[in-house]
Structure 1
């Protein structure tokens, strides 16, 4: 089934019990730990070409976060607010007893990562913000028309109706689907793993709707203020051709955080998709050159 297909390069699939329910994750490689946090309506397949380029030097953990394209629904009462998803990130680190972790967040996964790092930084050594929300972005982001996702998610019927267009592959390149997130077309098998769960599984759709309905820039700004006072080393790894999260915002945020800023050419938001080799080089070089907060 395409809904549950994951690239074997991500490593063995495992599960862990968190307070919100069961989380599936992939685990491969040895060395310092990287934990990846993807955004809305994608899953661990986002990292499928990046992880093999890092697994020789790092242990790579790539979960399916419960953001609408995951395999295992959470409990119906699970908290999928921004703080609830961030809590899942920190609970995963605790459950697996991971320390000195480099947390890598892309798209809205970067927003969740910022909240997690501000709430519970004690198991983190570094933070990578990879083309994601900053304090000057809306959430959902305004460019591309992604605010419609939150509006439709206020009601189950409108949420379901909005996604029916994704049954047609031609819509996958629209700017308010994936066209402004990936510069180059994404493999069809991967795309089906992203879009079919929200179309076919009511419980998965419920989780994704709860997550996108609750996002707000008000949730991110307090976390950003705490990170500005934090000793945690931060890298802003940004797509040079970013369409959704302005590079100017990244430059401003990097100055506020005292962070490094590195750009990745020929890419939109999903740099791990468009330019996995360059993304791996940026991550590897920065991590190796940057002392951990631990």
Structure 2
């Protein structure tokens, strides 16, 4: 299986149309992997991990959700709250006919995985959390300020068309430099293009952020102790937002979760240390799941 064997396409869900990328062999004997990203990025953040998994015989699916880097707006007809996007993730898995999925979440995407599991604790057969929102850290510092600014579409446009066009500012600790150790300039330029060019995308993001409620996730995270799936928490230890203490607290929710330290990685373990995350996904795929 060559890692270049990939497909980019769309699927129409009840909430809206979602672009997604598939990598890996069509007839894989391994459980399918579904990647969930966070605010302001798209499914390209998973590319290196997906290629490594493809080489190991795994087929993965990476949707781009309506969180600011998407190119197909949902509009007000879709439920753009965290709970609504979580339901869309479940619809995505069901529409593609995926079974026994390994769910992998990062950043806001980790919170969305928690919402989806709270809606249906048996939704995923295995779950991998990388650095992500949990408990009342939704989001952690310094992101509450950023989220507040992005709730206003006109201000989002001003930021993206102005300061965020400057590479040094995009890659600073107030930008993507907080999340990834060595940002790709072309990628960071392109992921903000939908927010610069499409008012409907800005409206989607604003609607999502206005619905973010730390108290809601604070109630959900502890409830996940009833989730029967094997859980792996894979945490970048150089993260200055989602600190290691938060990751260990998340792992402690689950009776038999594993906690893996990933040195020299910030929030986006998938980009900073893709091999570490791919190895963790392969490892959890070998753990037995509860049947019935």
With normalisation by structure 1, the TM-score equals 0.90
Structure 1 residue 161: deviation in Å? 2.5
Q: Report the Cα distance in structure 1 between the residues aligned to 2:23 and 2:218, rounded to whole angstroms.
A: 34
In the alignment, is the contact (CA less than 8 A) between 1:146 and 1:176 conserved in 2?
no
In the alignment, is the contact (CA less than 8 A) between 1:126 and 1:293 conserved in 2?
no
Q: Give 1:60's aligned residue.
A: 60
Q: Report the Cα distance in structure 2 between the residues aligned to 1:169 and 1:73, rounded to whole angstroms.
A: 26
Match of 1:11 among 6, 13, 37: 6
Structure 2 alignment gaps of length 5 or more: none
Q: Report the Cα distance in structure 2 between the residues aligned to 1:154 and 1:278, rounded to whole angstroms.
A: 34
Which region of structure 1 is more displaced relative to structure 2, 103-112 or 245-254?
Answer: 245-254
Structure 1 alignment gaps of length 5 or more: 1-7
Structure 1 residue 10: deviation in Å? 7.8
Q: Give 1:94's aligned residue.
A: 94
In the alignment, is the contact (CA less than 8 A) between 2:21 and 2:63 conserved in 1?
yes
Which region of structure 1 is more displaced relative to structure 2, 212-221 or 264-273?
Answer: 212-221
Match of 1:229 among 206, 215, 226: 226
Deviations 1:250-288 (A, max 9, x none): 112212212110011111000111111122112212322
1:126 aligns with 2:126: yes
Q: Give 2:113's aligned residue.
A: 113
In the alignment, is the contact (CA less than 8 A) between 1:20 and 1:75 conserved in 2?
no
Q: Give 2:252's aligned residue.
A: 255
Which region of structure 1 is more displaced relative to structure 2, 220-229 or 29-38?
Answer: 220-229
Structure 1 residue 162: deviation in Å? 3.3
Cα 1:284–1:124, aligned 2, differ >3 Å: closer, same or farther? Answer: same
The total of aligned residue pairs comes to 282
Which runs of 4 or more aligned residues in structure 1 lie more than 3 Å from their structure 2 counterparts after TM superposition? none
Deviations 1:141-192 (A, max 9, x none): 21xx2112222234322232333311111112222211110012x2222112
In the alignment, is the contact (CA less than 8 A) between 2:135 and 2:220 conserved in 1?
no
Alignment map for 1:71-82 (pairs within 5 Å): 71-82=71-82
Q: Report the Cα distance in structure 1 between the residues aligned to 2:70 and 2:171, rounded to whole angstroms.
A: 21
Match of 1:238 among 228, 235, 238: 235
Q: Give 2:289's aligned residue.
A: 292
In the alignment, is the contact (CA less than 8 A) between 2:165 and 2:189 conserved in 1?
no
Cα 1:24–1:81, aligned 2, differ >3 Å: closer, same or farther? Answer: same
Q: Give 1:21's aligned residue.
A: 16
Q: Report the Cα distance in structure 2 between the residues aligned to 1:194 and 1:293, rounded to whole angstroms.
A: 39
Q: Report the Cα distance in structure 2 between the residues aligned to 1:52 and 1:158, rounded to whole angstroms.
A: 37
Cα RMSD after superposing both structures:
1.7
Q: Report the Cα distance in structure 1 between the residues aligned to 2:4 and 2:65, rounded to whole angstroms.
A: 18
In the alignment, is the contact (CA less than 8 A) between 1:118 and 1:227 conserved in 2?
yes
Q: Give 2:135's aligned residue.
A: 135
1:265 aligns with 2:263: yes
In the alignment, is the contact (CA less than 8 A) between 1:152 and 1:162 conserved in 2?
no
Match of 2:163 among 159, 162, 165: 165
With normalisation by structure 2, the TM-score equals 0.91
